[in-house]
Structure formats: C-alpha cells, structure tokens
Amino acid sequence: MNQQVKMVDVATALHWINSGAAVVVDVRERHEFAAQHIPGAQLLPLSEFDPSKMPAVGEDKKLLLHCRSGQRCGLAAARLLATGYKGEINRLAGGILAWMAAGAPVECGATV
C-alpha cells in the first residue's frame, strides 16, 4: 500500500468524526447510502467517482474514505493518487460493516 494511504480502525475514525477532524467520503452507491450511512458523510459513488469532485480537505482535517467492507475505498484511493492527489488518504478498515458491528452511529433513509 502507498505510504500516503493509511487504514484506520473504527475507534480512530469515530474519534476524528466526533472531534470534527474528518471529511468523510462514502464511495458506495446511492441506494446503499440511502439505506444507511455514517452521519455527515458525503456521497461520491465509485461508479461515478471523479477525483475533481472531492470535497475540500483543509490542512486541519483528515480525508476518510469508506465503503461497505473496505475494498472499493481502495480503488477510490488509487484513482485519487493517479490524479496527483498530495494529501493523506485514510481508509476505514472493514468499511461500514465494521462501523455498524462496533455500534457506531448510522443514519438511515436519506434521500440522495
């Protein structure tokens, strides 16, 4: 794995989110996001992933990508790197499945 890309566990991700230190990007598809998602996450589905549409990540924030189980966010990270993305990219290990298994909060039924 590229040194720019790091895997983070649920506890670390939850700490970042609760402290306002993370920009969370969900790369799952729209129907998956609507079913449940991490509160505050921004949707950028892998099927239409365009690195130029990434939300701005300030120097005081961490980019956190996530998907269902942790695989698709790796593909998204690779696409970011291929376009010359210079910042650190964090991937949620185990995706939203690990997030929910840990009892972390989700929002359901959102329209996208």
36 assigned to some structural domain: yes
Range of the domain at 97: 5-101
Radius of gyration of the chain (CA): 13
Strand partners, 65: 25, 91
Is 75 part of a structural domain of the chain? yes
pLDDT at 112: 52
pLDDT at 2: 73
Indicate which CATH number applies to the domain containing 13: 3.40.250.10
Q: Where are the beta strands (DSSP E) in 1-112?
A: 5-8, 22-26, 42-43, 62-66, 89-92
Residue 67 lies in a domain: yes
**pLDDT one-digit tens code per residue, 42-65:** 999 999 999 999 998 988 999 999
Distance, in Å, from the CA atom of 112 to the CA atom of 110, rounded to the nearest integer, reads: 6
Instruction: Say how many domains are in the chain.
Output: 1
pLDDT confidence tier of residue 84, bands split at 50, 70 and 90: very high
- The per-residue pLDDT of the chain, averaged, comes to 94
**How confident is the model at residue 1, as a pLDDT?**
59
108 flagged as catalytic: no
Question: Which pTM was predicted?
Answer: 0.93
Q: Kindly state whether residue 40 falls inside one of the protein's structural domains.
A: yes
User: Residues 14, 67, 73, 76: which is the catalytic one?
Assistant: 67
